[in-house]
């Protein structure tokens, strides 16, 4: 295939709810551009986009797919994204690589929850957006209702560029209000017959054309003056205004298509080729040095890797966008993300699993590298001498967690390697090897997301695994002051062991001062605070270690050993074996022996004194609490709030936004297990949520009793 200059490139991300027809639309785009000779179908499991076995088995997109077509002397790179929110990582990486978004609407359902989510992604990245209302040949097609929902949810920038003449079974005719022509399609769709608009549709077409012209004029002051002067704009002026309006997100033109019937797809491609922005039209990206990197072929060669996938018989494929300059075969680059060198020996234009080797690729284009040694997603490759990088893509925080273990212990290392490879392919999968919980915890975007992960382990990597309920990372602390002392004495013929430690512990609150006097069991103890060490604990919270020793009762060289013994018990709380936190310890007295005292003696004395004091200081369990934000249709809000209350959730506030009720709540992590499944069941899949760690909070008494009982039972079994 030919090499395309930057101004002849278009990069489009296909967005939309699962089932909106993105994959089928992509298939029609490739067919109309001559990249494929026949159109596959999702049902026949032979589309270019959904080529992985799991996608063919489930008949929906799991991964984003890089595609391209050629139309009107332009190369249009197409990023087909998954519709389910569980696979939002593919949407986000595609938005980084694309210049425009095409939001695909299923005309039977109008604006669905996935449509909302994807619209917000495009809004966040400030991408120009085109809307394609798909499936107009379906018997339940309702174009007017879909447009009404689009206006209601996305505002007045939604502007009709077309309307259907005969939606429903037999749909084959569209009125285009940009060109003011009627497009009629034959039995197999494809290229339209261009006709004059019949009299019965002229009034509606004129009205919509006037509305479009007025909206277009708003995008440019010069056009607005022309519009006021002439009360109309030429087709060329409308085209210019559309480009400006798209770039400013001031207009979201709506097109009519049937991706299955290949109707309206040629006009949609024509609009993308002529009016969608090229990479050169988009704002320049800033690099890590704060400098703008303009997208042109004369700049320094630089690429950003936005996606990595693993292909059978090939290995790793890195999908990249050329940010500046041009890349040729056998180009020697520096991976400035990790300082390694890479030879870019082969460059490919990619359409699913089909790859076409190309000699060079220009700024703004998207392609693939194979068999690079040290390059992963989010890495920057530069010409030697340029040491800057691009900002890494930010993926959503996980919403679902599960513990996983192989059925055979011999597969543990193999499973770890497989999980790491799957994280490379999908960065929203996070793997945590928890020493604290003694579990491998996998985090994802939902139950379905992790079930797909398990399918890969079972079927691709041939590792049989099982999911377990993930343990909760509780914390333990104390609620009152306590005193304890402990003497460690051991004599066995040779050198003995002797160490005695007296300590007081109390709860620590941020900003509180160490005390100089404590009253314990009716007895006042004076504390001479000599040294204070504030230790930020790796698991959160603090330990304040106060040396109150006077008169040399314990030599200063043994104080670190006492602290080491205390830290050993901080790692294994007495209630559930969880980490302890937020405690202040005063070591105020003790004894030592001139011969037998050593570090191990004081470590053991400190550990045992702390353990005794902890148990007598009103120990309490703390649990992780998360801030949860839920977007829910108003008719299901009562059910969702009731469910949250049953999960010990505290509703903090409610608001309305774009047709949804937004509930903000704080919920213990222990109650969020499988919440995505429960929420989907409560709302018919119409709600969505996000969660973020807030703080540790004390658990209620009855919950604490149950947690301790469960821990004791587990310990007995082991």
Q: How confident is the model over 521-544, as pLDDT tens digits?
A: 788 899 999 999 999 999 999 999
Q: Residue 341: CB partners within 8 Å, gap ≥ 6? A: 332, 333, 334, 335
Calpha distance 347→365 (Å, rounded): 12
| Average pLDDT value for residue range 579-587 | 96
- In this predicted structure, what is the pLDDT of residue 23? 96
Calpha distance 631→610 (Å, rounded): 47
3-state secondary structure of 564: helix
Tokens coding 52: 């992985």
> What number of CA atoms fall less than 13 Å from residue 78's CA on the CB side?
31
3-state secondary structure of 424: helix
- Where do the CATH 3.30.230.10 domains begin and end in the chain? 476-618
CA 492 from centroid of its chain's CA atoms: 61
Asked if pLDDT for residue 231 goes beyond 80, the answer is no
- In this predicted structure, what is the pLDDT of residue 329? 94
- In this predicted structure, what is the pLDDT of residue 47? 95
The residue written with tokens 């009731």 in the block is 642
- Provide the pLDDT confidence category of residue 229 given band limits of 50, 70 and 90: confident
Tokens coding 65: 């797919």
| Average pLDDT value for residue range 602-630 | 95
Of all residues in the chain, what percent carry a pLDDT higher than 70? Answer: 99
- In this predicted structure, what is the pLDDT of residue 634? 86
Asked if pLDDT for residue 566 goes beyond 90, the answer is yes
Query: With b meaning 16 or more CB within 10 Å and e meaning fewer, what string describes 601-628?
Result: bbbbbbbbbbbbbbeebebbbbbbbbeb
Lowest mean pLDDT among 222-231, 625-634, 682-691: 222-231
The residue written with tokens 């934000």 in the block is 629
| Average pLDDT value for residue range 699-713 | 90
Instruction: Name the CATH architecture for the domain at 622-713.
Output: 2-Layer Sandwich (3.30)
- In this predicted structure, what is the pLDDT of residue 238? 85
Q: Residue 80: CB partners within 8 Å, gap ≥ 6? A: 14, 22, 23, 26, 49, 61, 64, 65, 67
Of all residues in the chain, what percent carry a pLDDT higher than 90? Answer: 81
Calpha distance 525→530 (Å, rounded): 15
- Provide the pLDDT confidence category of residue 603 given band limits of 50, 70 and 90: very high
600 burial via Cβ count (<10 Å: 0-12, 13-18, 19+): middle
- CATH code 3.30.300.90 for 400-471: no
Query: With b meaning 16 or more CB within 10 Å and e meaning fewer, what string describes 114-126?
Result: bbbbbbebbeeee
Calpha distance 490→493 (Å, rounded): 10
267's enclosing H/E stretch is helix 265-275
- Provide the pLDDT confidence category of residue 436 given band limits of 50, 70 and 90: confident
- Mean predicted lDDT score pLDDT of the chain: 93
- In this predicted structure, what is the pLDDT of residue 491? 77
346 within 8 A of 394, measured Cβ to Cβ:
no
Helices (H) and strands (E) in the chain, counts: 16, 40
Asked if pLDDT for residue 81 goes beyond 70, the answer is yes
What phi and psi, each to the nearest 5 degrees, are found at residue 396? -65, 150
| Length of the chain as a residue count | 718
| Average pLDDT value for residue range 90-107 | 97
471's enclosing H/E stretch is none
Q: Which CATH class is domain 476-618?
A: alpha beta
3-state secondary structure of 199: helix
Calpha distance 158→160 (Å, rounded): 7
Asked if pLDDT for residue 473 goes beyond 70, the answer is yes
- Cα–Cα distances (Å) from 50 to 24, 318, 560, 662, in that order, read 10, 18, 60, 34
Calpha distance 469→441 (Å, rounded): 10
- In this predicted structure, what is the pLDDT of residue 688? 83
Asked if pLDDT for residue 633 goes beyond 70, the answer is yes
635 within 8 A of 682, measured Cβ to Cβ:
no
CATH superfamily of 6-281: P-loop containing nucleotide triphosphate hydrolases (3.40.50.300)
pLDDT tens-digit readout, 34-59: 999 999 999 999 999 999 989 999 88
480 within 8 A of 617, measured Cβ to Cβ:
yes
Tokens coding 440: 């491998």
CA 116 from centroid of its chain's CA atoms: 16
3-state secondary structure of 185: coil
Lowest mean pLDDT among 84-98, 233-247, 412-426: 233-247
Residue 352 carries which DSSP code? T
| Average pLDDT value for residue range 680-700 | 89
Calpha distance 407→221 (Å, rounded): 68
- Where do the CATH 3.40.50.300 domains begin and end in the chain? 6-281
- Provide the pLDDT confidence category of residue 221 given band limits of 50, 70 and 90: confident
Sign of the torsion angle spanned by Cα atoms 98, 632, 452, 51: negative
Q: Which of 74, 71, 75, 48 is nearest to 61 (CA)?
A: 48
- Where do the CATH 3.30.70.870 domains begin and end in the chain? 400-471
Q: Which of 364, 367, 368 is nearest to 7 (CA)?
A: 364
- Where do the CATH 2.40.30.10 domains begin and end in the chain? 295-382
Q: Which of 29, 32, 27 is nearest to 44 (CA)?
A: 27
CATH number at 295-382: 2.40.30.10
Strand order in the sheet with 439-444: 430-434, 439-444, 400-406, 465-468
Residue 258 carries which DSSP code? B
As a three-state string, the secondary structure of 671-715 is HCCCHHHHHHHHHCCCCEEEEEEEEEEECCHHHHHHHHHHHHHHH
Asked if pLDDT for residue 283 goes beyond 80, the answer is yes
- In this predicted structure, what is the pLDDT of residue 493? 66
320 within 8 A of 308, measured Cβ to Cβ:
no
- Where do the CATH 3.30.70.240 domains begin and end in the chain? 622-713
| Average pLDDT value for residue range 508-530 | 90
Q: Residue 623: CB partners within 8 Å, gap ≥ 6? A: 472, 474, 475, 668, 669, 670, 696, 697, 698, 699, 703
Calpha distance 53→461 (Å, rounded): 13
pLDDT tens-digit readout, 327-372: 999 999 999 999 999 999 999 999 999 999 999 999 999 999 998 9
Asked if pLDDT for residue 673 goes beyond 90, the answer is no
pLDDT tens-digit readout, 255-271: 999 999 999 999 999 99
Q: Which of 391, 376, 352 is nearest to 424 (CA)?
A: 376
What phi and psi, each to the nearest 5 degrees, are found at residue 516? -105, -5
| Average pLDDT value for residue range 2-15 | 96
Let me know the angle formed at the C-alpha of 506 by 504 and 512, rounded to the nearest 5 degrees. Answer: 125
Sign of the torsion angle spanned by Cα atoms 84, 68, 106, 140: negative
């Amino acid at each position: 295939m030919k090499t395309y200059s930057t101004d002849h490139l278009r990069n489009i991300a296909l967005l939309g709810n699962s089932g909106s027809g993105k994959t089928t639309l992509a298939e029609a785009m490739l067919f109309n551009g001559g990249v494929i000779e026949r159109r596959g179908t999702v049902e026949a499991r032979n589309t270019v986009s959904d080529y992985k076995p799991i996608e063919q088995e489930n008949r929906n997109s799991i991964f984003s797919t890089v595609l391209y077509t050629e139309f009107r002397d332009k190369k249009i790179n197409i990023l087909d994204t998954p519709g389910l929110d569980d696979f939002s990582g593919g949407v986000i990486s595609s938005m980084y690589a694309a210049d425009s978004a095409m939001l695909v609407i299923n005309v039977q359902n109008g604006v669905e929850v996935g449509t909302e989510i994807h619209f917000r992604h495009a809004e966040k990245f400030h991408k120009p957006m085109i809307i394609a209302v798909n499936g107009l040949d379906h018997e339940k097609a309702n174009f007017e209702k879909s447009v009404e929902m689009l206006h209601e949810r996305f505002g007045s920038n939604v502007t009709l560029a077309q309307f259907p003449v005969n939606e429903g079974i037999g749909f084959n005719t569209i009125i285009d209000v940009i060109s003011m022509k009627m497009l009629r399609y034959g039995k197999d769709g494809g290229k339209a017959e261009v006709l004059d608009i019949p009299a019965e549709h002229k009034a509606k077409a004129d009205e919509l054309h006037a509305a479009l012209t007025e909206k277009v004029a708003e995008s440019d002051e010069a056009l607005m003056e022309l519009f006021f002067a002439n009360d109309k704009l030429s087709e060329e002026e409308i085209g210019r205004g559309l480009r400006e309006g798209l770039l400013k997100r001031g207009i979201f033109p709506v097109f009519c298509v049937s991706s299955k019937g290949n109707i309206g797809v040629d006009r949609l491609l024509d609009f993308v080729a002529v009016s969608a922005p090229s990479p050169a039209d988009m704002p320049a990206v800033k690099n890590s040095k704060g400098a703008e990197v303009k997208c042109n072929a004369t700049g320094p060669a630089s690429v950003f890797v936005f996606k990595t996938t693993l292909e059978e018989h090939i290995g790793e494929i890195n999908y990249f966008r050329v940010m500046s300059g041009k890349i040729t075969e056998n180009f020697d680059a520096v991976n400035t993300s990790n300082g390694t060198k890479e030879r870019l020996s082969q460059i490919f234009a990619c359409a699913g699993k089909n790859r076409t080797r190309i000699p060079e690729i220009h700024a703004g284009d998207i392609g693939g590298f194979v068999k690079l040694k040290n390059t992963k997603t989010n890495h920057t490759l530069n010409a030697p001498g340029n040491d800057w990088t691009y900002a890494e893509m930010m993926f959503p925080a996980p919403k679902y967690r599960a513990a996983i273990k192989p059925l055979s212990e011999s597969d543990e290392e193999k499973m770890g390697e497989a999980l790491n490879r799957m994280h490379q392919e999908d960065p929203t999968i996070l793997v945590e090897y928890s020493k604290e919980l003694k579990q491998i915890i996998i985090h994802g975007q939902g139950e379905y997301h992790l079930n797909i992960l398990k399918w890969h382990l079972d079927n691709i990597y041939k590792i049989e695994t099982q999911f377990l309920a993930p343990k909760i990372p509780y914390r333990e602390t104390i609620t009152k002051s306590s005193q304890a002392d402990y003497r460690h004495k051991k004599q066995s013929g040779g050198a003995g062991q002797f160490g005695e430690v007296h300590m007081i512990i109390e709860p620590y609150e941020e900003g509180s001062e160490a005390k100089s006097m404590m009253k314990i069991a009716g007895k006042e103890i004076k504390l001479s605070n000599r040294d204070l060490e504030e230790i930020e604990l790796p698991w959160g919270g603090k330990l304040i270690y106060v040396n109150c020793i006077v008169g040399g009762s314990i030599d200063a060289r043994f104080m670190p050993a006492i602290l080491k013994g205390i830290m050993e018990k901080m790692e294994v709380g007495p209630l559930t074996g969880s980490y302890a936190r937020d405690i202040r310890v005063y070591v105020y007295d003790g004894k030592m022996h001139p011969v037998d005292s050593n570090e191990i003696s004081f470590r053991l004395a400190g550990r045992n004194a702390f353990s005794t004091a902890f148990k007598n200081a009103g120990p309490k369990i703390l649990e992780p609490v998360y801030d949860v934000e839920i977007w829910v249709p108003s008719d299901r809000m009562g059910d969702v709030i009731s469910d949250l209350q049953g999960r010990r959730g505290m509703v903090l506030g409610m608001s309305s936004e774009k047709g949804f009720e937004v509930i903000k709540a704080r919920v213990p992590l222990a109650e969020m297990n499988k919440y995505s499944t429960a929420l989907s069941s409560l709302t018919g899949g119409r709600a969505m949520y996000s969660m973020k760690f807030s703080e540790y909070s004390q658990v209620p008494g009855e919950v604490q009793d149950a947690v301790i009982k469960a821990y004791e039972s587990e310990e007995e079994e082991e």
